[in-house]
Structures are given as structure tokens and as C-alpha cells.
Structure 1
Amino acid sequence: MQAVVLEAFQEPLEVQDVDRPEPESHGIVAKVDGCGVCRSDWHCWQGDWDWFGYRPDPPHVLGHEPCGTVVEVGSEVESVAEGDHIAIPFNFACGKCDLCRNGHENICENHVGLGFMNEAPGAFAEEVHVPNADINAVPLPDDISTDTAAGIGCRFMTSYHGMAHQGDVGGGDDVVVHGCGGIGLSAVHIADALGGNVVAVDLMDEKLEKAQELGAVETVNARDVDDPAKEVRDITDGGADISVDALGIKTTCQNAVRSLGKGGRHVQIGLTTSDEQGMIPLPTDEFVAKEIEFVGSLGLQPSRYSEMLDMIQTGKIDPTLLVDKTIDIHQVPDELAAMTDFETMGIPVCTEFAD
């Protein structure tokens, strides 16, 4: 089958023929119907994230935002059948550890990152293997189309968890989102649906215009102001209730924290690059003086997908609004290369995998 293969970090990616996966006894193989192209794939291609184990040994198949149709089922799988349409979380869980048993499958003790670790070749491919399928293969309702399912991968479902659970966004909350890529625009859309008043911050007018289309009540172009955090505090009459760093660099993280008012909560979704290697200085005295909370957000528990799917089915949120283009597998390398200079917007989705 065809797949996008990382042969060497930072070197051009190639579409190659690779062996089709075989299901383990607890796993399934799915035909990939769609797979989002994410900046996290770009990070993996660059060789980032070895400091927390997300650096596979080349050659390795990339891709971590798939939906698919089950084509083979392992002998021990009970709840998934051939022909099922499924969403596939990128953060595979074991289903047996204490964290999984207590509803925290997204931070499973035995977590395996799809497309990011040797144990889980990715989904820029015609087929993908899903281990522990009874927990990691999430059945999709019949009325969720392939186009919709392809848009709920890492960025959308991660933003849902970040806004609905970790951020606990509610009616009337002032929410500021720093960085309007796929995660940031998803966060804008979801926070708006949850009742938040969203301020979007970015460097590109076209991304801010998209944020307004998705529900932002105000925008700030950080290029045009001396202090983006002060602009947000002025807009929100003293500071936001909830802030989001959707990019993961020093500037956006610090500005997001400084955008908060007293008693505010910062949600960190963006992961850092090799420049920061996970270490960003923060205004700790402000955390004390303002009693600010800092929380992280990773993926979405399979057991809580139903919340997000219910909101999609009732029309409150719509992942297809974030999908800016559909491409074939041969276009994936160029789409990732464009992310080097932040030239993509929204969520590109690969929907064609065979010639």
C-alpha cells in the first residue's frame, strides 16, 4: 500500500509502497477514509519532541488524525466489527491501567502516540492498525459523514477537551485564543458554542477573519499593537477568564497568561519546538497574586467522544467549517512543508490514498 514515509528528519518526505498492517489479537485494521494534516506531523518530521518520547526511528509512516472503515478484526476484539465506521484517537490507550479505568485514557500510563512512536505507524496510508480496539476505535453514528469525521482528528478533538473539560468554558466567559492555526480556530469555534465570548489573537489577518467567521467577537493582530496581552485585558475589562496557547512558543504562551484577569485559567494545548524543548519562563508572581491556574490538555478520552459527537449531530459545532481543503496522499509532503512558514490555515485533510 502507499504511505508517506519519514526517511530522515528534515529531509523531503516520500510516498512509498509499504507492507499492509496485520491486526494484533486485540486490534483492528481500518481503511483510512480521511486523515488531517497537522502541525504536529510537521514537528515529528523536524525531529522535535524527543524530550517526551515522540520521536520515532526512521523509516516511519506519519499521520495521526484518521477516521476509517474497519476491514480486519483481531480475535479478541469484542465491540468493533468489520464494516464499522470509526474515529481513531491519536493517543492510544491500554484500557487496563488506573488512569484508563478512571476516565483518563488520554493520558494512559501505557500511552502510544499514533504516527509519533515506533509502536504505531501512522495514518498517511491506505490502511492503519489500531491496537486495543475495544477502547481506541470509536464507533461513529451513521449520520456523521466521512467529511465530518475526517475533521475531528487531533486538533478538533483536542480543542474540544481543552475548552469543554480543562478550560471548563461556560456562558459569558471571556476566552482568549493565542495562535489561530487548526487548534486555535477549533478552540474559537468550540468555545463560542459553549457560550464563551472569544477574542482571537494572531499575526495574519486572514486567520483572524476566519476566527470571526467561527464566532470570535473581537480579534487582535499582534503585529499591529505593542502589547497584545494588554489589548486583550482592555477588551475584556481587566482580563480574560480563560486563555489558550494554541501554538506552543514562548511569545504566545506568555502573552496568553498575561491576558488573564484575577482568578483566570490558562489552558496549554500547543507543544513546544526544539527552541524551547518544553521549557518556557512564566510570570510566576502573577500566578500567585492573581491566583491563576495553569492546566495542560492532551487529546480527548475515547469515553468522552460521545459529548463532542452529540454537539456535532445537533449542529452546535461543525468540524467541516475548519477543513480548508482536501488533498491526496502525494500532496501531503508539500502541505507539511508549507507549515514551516505557517502558510496553512484551518485543517487540510487527505482523502485519497491510492492512485
Structure 2
Amino acid sequence: MRVLLIEELGARPAVVEVPDPVCPDDGVVLQVEATGVCRSDWHAWQGHDDSVVLPHVPGHELAGTVVTAGPLVRRWRVGDRVTVPFVCACGTCPTCRSGEQQVCPHQTQPGFTHWGSFAELVALHHADTNLVRLPDGMAATTAAGLGCRFATAYRALTVHGRVRTDDQVVVLGCGGVGLSAVMIARSLGARVAGVDTSAAARAAALELGADAVLDPGDDSPEEVAGRLVELTGGGAHVSVEALGDPRTAVTGVLALRRRGRHVQVGLLLGAHSRPPLPMDRLIAWELELYGSHGMAAHEYPAMLAAIAEGRLSPDRLVGAVVGLDEAADALAALGEPGAARVGMTVVVP
């Protein structure tokens, strides 16, 4: 099969031919129909993820067709069109049995713990726990974004944010996850403010339903939070940090009203992984602080129902569609300030 192979961290990956993947006994091999280009893939390429072992094939947002099923698989057969959460849980540990597969301690992640979906074929583990059947008629290019950015934003807002009609929601960072959050929050009846330094990203947020947008410029986190408190009439009920920046995380906490909820979705890596946060405000105002790490397969039906009913339109988030030979350029673009941030780039191998 053809894959985009990383042989040296930070060096341009190349499209090469390698042997087809071996199907796990409890898993499947998919023919990849489409795979999203996510900033997490860029982090893996740059060496920011300790689980990556070279040589490596990135890619974790995917949709495809089952071409091989292992002997222990009971629910899936050749020809099924599926997607999968970026966290593939074991399905048997106490955490999984409690329904929290998105934080399974034995998880695998295509594109991180093993070769991913920037390829013609990809192997996935624990198929009966993790695969999600695609609705009839859903394009693979749309489905590719469900396993990471869209499902992550959906669970962040519905489970942790508990967004209700007329809530004030602030979305910090209007990239793939952030624009998904804008759309989802608006569908839940919230009033939404999007924050981004990119004029194009702010324009996209308005097109997807944001009531207002804000350019933070060079203001301090405290100053940006003050502007957001004024914009939201006293502070947000829910803030979602979708960028992965310590300053933006502080802004999100300080932009809340009393008893508000901050959901941290953006990855804070390396030297940024343990930022100082305003815990004095957290205690005095009884704020809630959550991390959000994707969404388990068993939680997909409500999201898919909202898509089927037309309340959510993830197809509107799809931008450029490229072939595997253009995937390296798409990956590299994610490292350029302000580049490739509006609309999901999708690779069709």
C-alpha cells in the first residue's frame, strides 16, 4: 500500500510503498476513504508525542470500508463503512466497563501508538468496542472529521459544558475544533463569541453562527478576558479553549461568570503542559475546570441524530480535498502561523 511515511522528525515525509498492515485478531483493516489533517498530526511529526516510534505513518481522523475483520470480531463484516474515535479503547478494563472509553488506560491511537490513516489501508484494534457505522449517504470527507475535532467539541459542550439555551459560550481558537464548537454551541441555543487572531477564522466563526467575534491582538489574558466579560454581559457560562496555549487557557477561566465552566480541549504540550491558572478565582467563584479527550463510540448516536436531523452540518467544515501526494504540504502548512486553519483539509488516498 501507499503511505505518507515519516522517517525523521521534522523532516519532510514522503509517499512510499510498504507492506499492507496485519489485521489484529480483535480488529479490522480499513480501506481508507478519507482522512483529516489535524494539528495533532503535526505535533506527532514534530516529535511532540512520546508514543510515536519511527518510521511512522500519521493520521487519526478517518472514514473507510472494512476489507478484513479479525476472527474475534462479532459486530462487523467486510464492506461495512465506518469511522472510529481517535481513542481506541480496550473495552474490558474497569474504566471502559464504566463507559469512559475515551480515557481508557490501555488505549491505542492510530497515527500515534501505531501507523495511522495517511495511507490506503489502516489497522484498528478492538473493533467491537470502537467502530461506528456511518449513516447512509454521509460522504467520507465529512465523516473523516467526526472521530477527533467534531466529536471532541460535541462532548466538550454537551457533557462537560452542559450548554443550555441562552447560555453565553466563549470559544477560544477558531480552528477545526473551535469552529466545530461554534456550530454545536449555536445549535444548542447558546449565544457564542469566537476569539481568534486570524481575520479569516473570525469570519468563518460568524458564518457558522457566532453572534460576535473578538481579535485578542497583543492584549494580556486579563485584558482579553475583561473584553469578553463585557461582551457576554457579565461573563460566559462556558468557555472552551481550542488552541492549546497557556495564555488562552488563563483567558478562558477569567472570562467566566460565577459558577461557570471552562473546558480545556487544546493540547498543552512540552513546556506549556503545566501552566499556572488563576486558582484563586476558581475557588472563590466555584468555577468548574474540565479536560476533554474525545468521545467514546457508544456516545456517537446523539451526535449522528443531530446531523441526520439537520441541526448540525459538519460538511460545512470541510475545506480543501487533496490526494496522498499533497498530504505532506498540507501537514507542513499547519506549522505556519495562521495557515490552513479555516476549513478541514481532507486527504483522499
Calculate the TM-score normalised by the size of structure 1: 0.95
Instruction: Check conservation: 1:49, 1:274, Cα contact below 8 A.
Output: no
Q: Distance in 2 between matches of 1:334 and 1:85?
A: 28
> How many angstroms does 1:149 deviate by?
1.2
RMSD: 1.2
- Alignment of 1:343 with 2:345, yes or no, is no
Matched with 1:287 is 282
Structure 1: state its 5+ residue gaps: none
Instruction: Check conservation: 1:35, 1:153, Cα contact below 8 A.
Output: no
Q: Distance in 2 between matches of 1:27 and 1:135?
A: 10
> How many angstroms does 1:224 deviate by?
7.2
Q: Distance in 2 between matches of 1:173 and 1:236?
A: 10
Give the one of 190, 201, 214 matched to 2:195: 201
Instruction: Check conservation: 2:179, 2:208, Cα contact below 8 A.
Output: yes
- After superposition, residues 70-81 of structure 1 pair within 5 angstroms as 70-81=66-77
Write the letter of the residue equivalent to 2:339. Answer: E
- Alignment of 1:223 with 2:217, yes or no, is yes
Using the TM superposition, name which of 140-149 and 83-92 deviates more: 140-149
Give the one of 87, 90, 94 matched to 1:91: 87
> How many angstroms does 1:9 deviate by?
1.2
Calculate the TM-score normalised by the size of structure 2: 0.96
Matched with 2:126 is 132
Matched with 1:304 is 299
**Number of equivalences:** 345
Matched with 1:36 is 36
Instruction: Check conservation: 1:36, 1:153, Cα contact below 8 A.
Output: no
CA displacement 1:60-117 (0-9 Å, x = unmatched): 1100001100111111110001100001211010110111111111111211122111
Write the letter of the residue equivalent to 1:300. Answer: M
Matched with 1:188 is 182
Instruction: Check conservation: 1:158, 1:298, Cα contact below 8 A.
Output: yes
> How many angstroms does 1:275 deviate by?
3.5
Matched with 1:173 is 167
Q: Distance in 1 between matches of 2:296 and 2:69?
A: 22
Structure 2: state its 5+ residue gaps: none
Instruction: Check conservation: 2:27, 2:126, Cα contact below 8 A.
Output: yes
SS of the residue 1:113 aligns to: coil
CA displacement 1:150-175 (0-9 Å, x = unmatched): 23231111111111111111111100
Give the one of 318, 324, 330 matched to 1:329: 324
Q: Percent identity?
A: 41
Instruction: Check conservation: 1:43, 1:273, Cα contact below 8 A.
Output: no
> How many angstroms does 1:143 deviate by?
3.1
Q: Distance in 1 between matches of 2:236 and 2:228?
A: 7
- Alignment of 1:317 with 2:312, yes or no, is yes
Give the one of 94, 110, 113 matched to 1:114: 110
CA displacement 1:239-291 (0-9 Å, x = unmatched): 10000110111111111111111110000000013331x11110110001111
- After superposition, residues 245-256 of structure 1 pair within 5 angstroms as 245-256=241-252
Matched with 2:259 is 263
Q: Distance in 2 between matches of 1:273 and 1:154?
A: 18
Q: Distance in 2 between matches of 1:92 and 1:75?
A: 18
- Alignment of 1:21 with 2:16, yes or no, is no
SS of the residue 1:62 aligns to: coil
CA displacement 1:33-68 (0-9 Å, x = unmatched): 110000000111111133xxxx31110110000110
